[in-house]
């Protein structure tokens, strides 16, 4: 195998790789013979299909498979032989596939060769914390709310109640809906509906009706009423109040924890302290990264990695914006341009490369490095 390396710039490399054509054609012919013994074709007994028939029907597919395999194997050999560290999947163009040689060109960027990374002067404060009894109580209260049950409330609505209601919006010659009534459901205090509606629902009882005036925001989902003031006719159909479960053995068992309330509280404490430890480790890692970036911000990184990271950030932003728009019933806004994300993407790439380099030189795993 012959390999030549051309340096295109600080990171880009072009490899020209040539393999004797005999190596390629031997594998192709071996694959044809193998298929002739196993394939079934009309007019031939199984295992008796002539090689020339296999070549005519499957030849191109076989050559493509062998070509891809040979490229994968020889490219790995060439990269190792030349001590290269690709930063991306190489772009490959076949140059020759004849009897004399099998040749191709691979172009890619390599990882940077960093200088000695000195971390001895980094000053990092390691935060230490542990879950308090108050933290445990707050978490248990949250878990109780997750297991909350509901029952009809024979009284006016108060904060925390789930209120089912119907409404009609009218004004400026518009009625929404045109027929019947819209239905709504909200938890008082969660600010899931317009503040005028939530304020009006407080103190209303099931079966009660009320008329209010509200100013609709300019981005309201129905353009006919957006940015206008209109009348809302409200009627409450149902009020449910939440009932918190007692913290007892049965409550603990609902979380698959046996041993009673004490065992449940120990488990809650352990989970909180584990989450707290992970959060503190993340903050410590962030502090290390910030100091490394300040010290080594001038180091260059491969453009392909920055582009890939920026594109990944854009995809994530699109997914998040789509989900938010779906929940709000609004159109999806245009995504941020990849170019606008490149500065942040470069910092992320440089941080990852620096941490990986430190871990490699000190025989650490990245989990340890944080």
Which runs of E-coded beta strand occur in the chain?
2-7, 12-20, 91-97, 101-109, 149-152, 162-171, 174-176, 182-187, 209-215, 229-243
Give domain status of residue 115, yes or no.
no
How far from 248 is each of 144, 241, 261, CA to CA, in Å? 11, 21, 6
**How many domains would you assign to the chain?**
3
Same domain flag for 224 and 328: no
Same domain flag for 179 and 266: no
Q: Which of 58-62, 102-106, 163-167, 185-189 has the weakest average pLDDT?
A: 58-62
For residues 121 and 295, what is the distance between their CA atoms, to the nearest angstrom? 10
Q: What are phi and psi of 174, to 5 degrees?
A: -115, 140
Average pLDDT in the 222-235 region? Answer: 93
* Residue 313 domain boundaries: 250-369
Same domain flag for 284 and 214: no
Q: Which of 243, 272, 300 is the last residue of a domain?
A: 243
35 sits in the region (left: phi over 0; alpha: psi -120 to 50; else beta) called alpha
The whole-model pTM stands at 0.60
Same domain flag for 295 and 312: yes
Q: Which of 92, 97, 109, 100 is nearest to 66 (CA)?
A: 97
User: Token digits for 364?
Assistant: 């650490």
pLDDT at 54: 81
Average pLDDT in the 182-206 region? Answer: 94
Give domain status of residue 36, yes or no.
yes
Residue 42 has pLDDT above 90, yes or no: no
CATH of the domain at 193: 3.10.50.40
Give domain status of residue 134, yes or no.
no
For residues 103 and 19, what is the distance between their CA atoms, to the nearest angstrom? 6
Q: Look up residue 341 and give its DSSP letter.
A: G
Tens-digit pLDDT profile for residues 2-40? 999 999 999 999 999 999 988 888 888 888 888 888 777
Same domain flag for 6 and 104: yes
Same domain flag for 363 and 310: yes
Same domain flag for 234 and 170: yes
Same domain flag for 268 and 338: yes
For residues 25 and 29, what is the distance between their CA atoms, to the nearest angstrom? 6
Mean confidence (pLDDT) of the chain: 90
Question: Omega of the bond prior to 242 within 30 degrees of 0, cis?
Answer: no
Give domain status of residue 275, yes or no.
yes
């Amino acid at each position: 195998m012959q390999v030549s390396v051309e340096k295109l710039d600080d990171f880009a490399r072009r490899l020209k790789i040539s393999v004797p054509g005999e190596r390629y054609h031997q594998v192709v012919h071996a694959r044809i013979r193998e298929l002739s013994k196993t394939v079934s074709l009309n007019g031939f007994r199984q295992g008796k299909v002539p090689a020339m028939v296999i070549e005519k029907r499957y030849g191109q597919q076989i050559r493509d498979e062998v070509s891809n395999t040979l490229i994968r194997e020889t490219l790995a050999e060439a990269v190792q032989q030349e001590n290269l560290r690709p930063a991306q999947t190489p772009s490959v163009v076949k140059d020759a596939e004849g009897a004399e040689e099998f040749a191709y060109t691979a172009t890619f960027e390599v990882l940077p060769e960093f200088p000695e990374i000195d971390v001895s002067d980094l000053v990092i404060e390691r935060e230490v914390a542990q879950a308090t009894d108050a933290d445990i109580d707050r978490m248990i209260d949250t878990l109780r709310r997750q297991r909350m049950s509901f029952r009809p409330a024979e009284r006016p609505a108060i904060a925390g109640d789930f209120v089912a209601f119907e409404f009609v919006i009218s004004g400026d010659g518009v009625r929404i809906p045109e027929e019947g009534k819209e239905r709504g459901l909200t938890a008082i205090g969660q600010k899931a509906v317009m503040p005028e509606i939530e304020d009006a629902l407080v103190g209303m009882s099931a079966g009660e009706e009320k008329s209010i005036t509200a100013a609709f925001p300019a981005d309201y989902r129905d353009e006919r009423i957006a940015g206008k003031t209109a009348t809302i006719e409200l009627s409450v159909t149902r009020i449910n109040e939440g009932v918190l479960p007692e913290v007892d053995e049965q409550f603990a068992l609902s979380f698959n924890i046996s041993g009673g309330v004490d065992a449940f509280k120990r488990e809650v404490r352990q989970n909180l302290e584990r989450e707290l430890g992970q959060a503190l480790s993340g903050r410590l890692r962030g502090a290390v990264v910030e100091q490394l970036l300040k010290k080594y911000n001038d180091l260059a990184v491969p453009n392909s990695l920055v582009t890939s990271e920026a594109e990944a950030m854009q995809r994530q932003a699109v997914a998040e914006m789509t989900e938010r728009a779906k929940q709000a019933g609004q159109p999806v806004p245009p995504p941020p341009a990849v170019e606008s994300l490149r500065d942040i993407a470069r910092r992320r790439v440089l941080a990852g490369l620096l941490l990986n380099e430190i871990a490699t030189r000190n025989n650490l795993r990245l989990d340890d490095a944080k």
